[in-house]
Amino acid sequence: MKIPKRLEPLIEDGLIDGVVRQLMSGKEAMVFVVRCGDDIRCAKVYKEANKRSFRQAVDYTENRRTKNSRQARAMAKGTRYGRQAQEEAWQNAEVDALYRLAAAGVRVPKPYNFHEGVLLMELVAGPDGDAAPRLNDLAFTPELARDYHQTLVKEVVRMLCAGVVHGDLSEFNILVAADGPVIIDLPQAVDAAGNNHAPGMLERDVANLRHYFGQYAPELLTTDYGREIWALYEAGALHPEVELTGHFARSEKAVDLGAVMREIDDAKAEEAARRLRLQTPPQ
């Protein structure tokens, strides 16, 4: 097929040798099957921000790292440079997440390179050797639904142990490879420790799995793995081999409002003292 313009730099730099076909066009990117020597891989070409249907919501971009303070200020002001920097941060989030998760043993496509806004990665193959189908394209027996649900909940745990929350996990961004499910589409991934919305996102990811597989195995609809997983994470007790129950008991212990207010007052006093020190000239 004709070489798409966005893939021409990869051809020129010898990163790919040819384009086989377009695999899909999604809300944030187009994916092409490409040749790299004797290997067949895929190239994810990110769409420009004004052509994407998935918006960079503040919930997702909160506390994402930038190269320097100038870049952070430009992003906050929404300047042209800031928008470009924000776009780079959005794309780099998936690249960083893929490398981090692959190193942690999470089943994600293996990343190979990121060049000129194009992510070169493993082509996930299905049982027939062709591109793997998405989870939502398949039907399951109750037994297989329970098995896949358990496998994916464990992958969510492994991701969180690596400090990552997918943020948009559903049956539409999980592929079914010959050796089981593979999690894809991570540009909206968030840092678990640095994003205040991470707990809610993780619970939503797990709820999406529960609702999807619950249509085949209804008993899954009564589980609450999301809050159980996050509670273990907060307590420092989460690890990849943790035994989960699928149940979560909300604490009935009354909140000590007096203690909370005292902590707030102490923090305010410390901040006031710090500001006073900054305003006082050295002797």
* Residue 153 structure tokens: 């909940």
Length, in residues, of the chain:
283
33 close to 23: Cβ distance less than 8 angstroms: yes
C-alpha to C-alpha distance for 37 and 16, rounded to whole angstroms? 7
* 179 carries an active-site annotation: no
Distance CA 245, CA 112 (A): 37
Set 185, 205, 224, 256: catalytic member: 185
Residue 168 appears among annotated catalytic residues: yes
- Label residues 128-151 b or e (16+ Cβ within 10 Å = b): eeebbebbeeeebeeeebbebbbe
CB 168 within 8 A of CB 241: no
Give the start-end residues of each E strand in the chain.
18-25, 29-36, 39-46, 111-115, 118-122, 164-165, 174-177, 180-183, 190-191
Residue among 96, 168, 191, 205 flagged as catalytic = 168
Q: How many CB atoms lie within 10 A of CB 71?
A: 18
Whether the CB-CB separation of 190 and 60 falls below 8 Å is answered with: yes
- Percentages (nearest 5) of helix, strand, coil residues in the chain: 45, 15, 35
Active site residues: 168, 185
